A and B are shown apart, each in its own frame.
Chain A
Amino acid sequence: MPKQINVALIGNPNTGKTSVFNSLSGLNQKVGNYPGITVDKKEGICKLPRGVKAHIIDLPGTYSLNASSLDENVVIELLLNRNDKDFPDVAVVVSDVENLKRNLLLFTQIKDLEIPTILVINMSDRMAYKGITLDIPFLEKELQTKIALVSTRKKLGIDELKELITNYKELSLKPSLAASEIDKDYFDKLRKAFPNQLLYKLWLVITQDVNFGNVNRNEVQAIDSFKTKSNADLKRLQQKETIKRYQFINNTLKKGQTIDLKTAKDLRIKLDRVLTHKVFGYVIFFVILLTMFQAVYDWATYPTDFIDESFASLANWTKNTLPPGAFTNLLAEGIIAGIGGVMVFIPPIAILFLFIALLEESGYMSRVVFLMDNIMKRFGLSGKSVVPLISGNACAIPAVMAARNIESWKERLITILVTPFTTCSARLPVYVIIISLVIPKGSFLGLNYQALTLMALYIIGFMTAIISAYILNKVLKIKSKSYFVIEMPSYKVPLFKNVALTVLEKTKTFVFEAGKIILAISIVLWFLASYGPGEQFNDAENIIKTENIALSGDDLEDKIAAHKLEHSYIGIVGKAIEPVIKPLGYDWKIGIALVTSFAAREVFVGTLATIYSVGSSGDDEETIKSKMAAEVYSNGDKVFTLASGISLLLFYAFAMQCMSTLAIVKRETNSWKWPMYQLVGMTLIAYVAALIAFQVLK
């Protein structure tokens, strides 16, 4: 037996597959991407009995091997390619005890590929609650497999599962359904033509309209000659296959599973009645959102302030301890300020993702999608558009990709175009700091003004997205049809481990992905702000001393630093764009932050932190927030006022400040036309909204 075996975790969505993955691999896991696509690839290592190690892949959730989305393609591509380094030695199909009938369809398909397959029946702790009893020996015999009854919540059955994986060679390879039963004549011909190929694999290659880039095409290319049947005939055969599978599953479950409805206690129906109610449903959702935003402020304040102050002290210590010079300045003003600009946002982002993970884990998020479908339809969007619009609150990039499962091109295009209006987590750092600067701390009826402002910004983003969708629906002349189907998973008490891992993973992604960009931009900015051409920059000390004979000490140092910054490379660029942004209430330093944050919105705060650090004599332990609060124009007026603050908030609510989103929209629409419309349209809306806000409030 090899020392390391490949294990593929496969299952329908919402079967607790990821919980099984977490139970098997613990913290020995990493998240990457499948080559060339942005579908998450979760891998982990698990120690099995008798010194065997398992390399586990948590494959994307799929209902069957009849792929209809990119996620599902990943599963089928792996299972059809024995040359893939990740090809499983054993497949573990995870099912949910309450939806066994539907889950077994995928199981029988995988079994027919003659891969050693174990069936995990998850959430077994709910059997008594739902009045379900299973005849495991009978099911194992009929399904030709070994079954592990698992409850990740109660930590039951994991050791038994590990034992079954270790002994995978004892598993039967006999298929559940002989493929030839679908159409005997057709499959006999296939078998004669390709005696060395697996019949069901051939059938999948013929019928699936997916990319088989990883499958050795040469082996099966000649199959095209077997496309003697029309597409409609092939579809009919696929339907026949599904019916045959369900007949087999029904017969098996009739004897192997009993459900006593008298003992079943169904809280789910009662909860659904309230949570999806046409009035209370929205009220509850609104209250949950409000609580979430209140928590982002109330809980994040202390750790955020602590991190901010620690980095300010570290920068000051670095400058005072290390020998003076360019690298010391880069460390204190560029690198430490840049890293500080990333780290201060860990607490609010972690809290936001904590809430999102809790809502998803509990099963409530699917109810929100269902609830919002009523609204979506009125604005010309599909119910499925809700998924991108909700995931857009984390990041627009996967959200735009999530629109792939919308069948209608028009609805998909509209969803792609409006999704970037929803408030992604990259906007959060900008919102958090500007709100804390310009919105007073008081409260009304116990509701924090700052939390209310944050919530208002989320609502503005969402409303703009659906209003834009309504307009685009009227303007774009593309004909299409669509439908909406969503699965409502059971309500569950969220598992601490799953929630913690989600928060950890999302926060890590922010720190390491956005963080690297912010740090690199901070270093480049430090250079552009610390060097400049001409006499005004190089001879700044003499110029200021001549002009301000009475000045001395810190005042003189600050004046020299400010003069140098104004005549540095970045100062020259900032001054050039100042006339365009001045009507919005911004100075040239904010202008620079607007330009750099085109790379990613969260760069805004880091940019200002670097510019303000270079632009001061740097002897004080000032935090990013206090530096921004203290920033004044030459006449002594504050830069960050209610008017300029609201103007900035609205600018960031509407502007397409994200190069990566533009790139992904180009890829999804296969044209530069749509991302360019998006960029121009969103920037215009942002400019006009910010202009009106500043001119009215100033």
Chain B
Amino acid sequence: MNTLVQDILAFIAVALAIWFLLHKFGILPKKKSASSKSCGEDDCGCH
């Protein structure tokens, strides 16, 4: 495995990790499930 391949793999791993963390802590918006209508995701006004 040459140095370039190693660098590419390392940077892909770092990019994936950053993407995961941004999603996990709500900095990037999550995809909304179409079937979900119950309260909690939006304010349904029931509480």
Question: Residues 321-342 of chain A: 1 if any B CB is under 8 Å from the residue's CB, otherwise 0?
Answer: 0110111111000110000000
Q: 5 closest A-B pairs (Cβ-Cβ)? A: A325-B6, A36-B40, A35-B36, A211-B46, A523-B17
What's the Cα separation between A328 and B18 when bound, in Å? 19
The residues of A that contact B6 with a CB separation of less than 8 Å are: 323, 325-328
The residues of B that contact A521 with a CB separation of less than 8 Å are: 17, 21
Which residue of chain B is the closest to A214 with respect to CB atoms? B38
The residues of B that contact A670 with a CB separation of less than 8 Å are: 43
Q: Which of B25-46 contact A (CB under 8 A)?
A: 25-26, 33, 35-41, 43-44, 46
A290 at the interface (CB under 8 A from B): no
The residues of B that contact A659 with a CB separation of less than 8 Å are: 25
Question: Residues 270-284 of chain A: 1 if any B CB is under 8 Å from the residue's CB, otherwise 0?
Answer: 000000000000000
Could you tell me if A211 and B25 are in contact, using CB atoms closer than 8 angstroms? no
What's the Cα separation between A36 and B38 when bound, in Å? 7
8 Å CB contact of B44 from A211, A334, A519, A520: A211
Which residue of chain A is the closest to B33 with respect to CB atoms? A35
The residues of A that contact B21 with a CB separation of less than 8 Å are: 517, 520-521, 524, 599
Could you tell me if B7 and A326 are in contact, using CB atoms closer than 8 angstroms? yes
Minimum CB–CB distance for A601 against chain B, Å? 15
Q: A521-B21, A663-B26 are in contact. Are A36 and B10 (CB under 8 A)?
A: no
Could you tell me if B1 and A37 are in contact, using CB atoms closer than 8 angstroms? no
What's the Cα separation between A322 and B7 when bound, in Å? 14
What DSSP secondary structure best describes chain A's contact surface? helix
Could you tell me if B25 and A37 are in contact, using CB atoms closer than 8 angstroms? no
What's the Cα separation between A516 and B35 when bound, in Å? 27
A77 at the interface (CB under 8 A from B): yes
8 Å CB contact of A523 from B5, B7, B13, B25: B13
Which residue of chain A is the closest to B19 with respect to CB atoms? A520
Residues of chain A at interface, number, CB under 8 A: 33
What's the Cα separation between A613 and B14 when bound, in Å? 17
Residues of chain B at interface, number, CB under 8 A: 30
The residues of A that contact B18 with a CB separation of less than 8 Å are: 520, 524
A285 at the interface (CB under 8 A from B): no
8 Å CB contact of A325 from B7, B36, B39: B7
Best-buried of B3, B11, B14, B20 by chain A (most CB within 10 Å):
B14
The residues of A that contact B5 with a CB separation of less than 8 Å are: 325, 327
Could you tell me if B1 and A36 are in contact, using CB atoms closer than 8 angstroms? no
Could you tell me if A327 and B1 are in contact, using CB atoms closer than 8 angstroms? yes
Which residue of chain A is the closest to B23 with respect to CB atoms? A520
Q: A328-B6, A527-B14 are in contact. Are A323 and B1 (CB under 8 A)?
A: yes
Q: A323-B1, A523-B17, A524-B17 are in contact. Are A330 and B39 (CB under 8 A)?
A: no
Q: Which of A640-693 contact B (CB under 8 A)?
A: 659, 663, 670
Could you tell me if B14 and A37 are in contact, using CB atoms closer than 8 angstroms? no
12 further contact pairs, Cβ within 8 A, besides A327-B1, A524-B18? A35-B36, A77-B38, A211-B38, A323-B1, A326-B6, A326-B7, A520-B24, A521-B17, A521-B21, A524-B14, A524-B17, A526-B14
8 Å CB contact of A327 from B7, B26, B43: B7
What's the Cα separation between A520 and B26 when bound, in Å? 15
The residues of A that contact B35 with a CB separation of less than 8 Å are: 35
Could you tell me if B20 and A211 are in contact, using CB atoms closer than 8 angstroms? no
8 Å CB contact of B3 from A77, A211, A326, A527: A326
Q: A323-B1, A520-B20, A524-B21 are in contact. Are A213 and B38 (CB under 8 A)?
A: yes
8 Å CB contact of B37 from A38, A214, A523: A214
List 17 A-B residue pairs with CB atoms under 8 Å apart, sorted by A's residue number. A35-B36, A36-B41, A37-B39, A77-B38, A211-B38, A211-B44, A325-B5, A326-B11, A327-B10, A328-B6, A330-B10, A520-B18, A520-B20, A520-B21, A520-B24, A524-B18, A659-B25
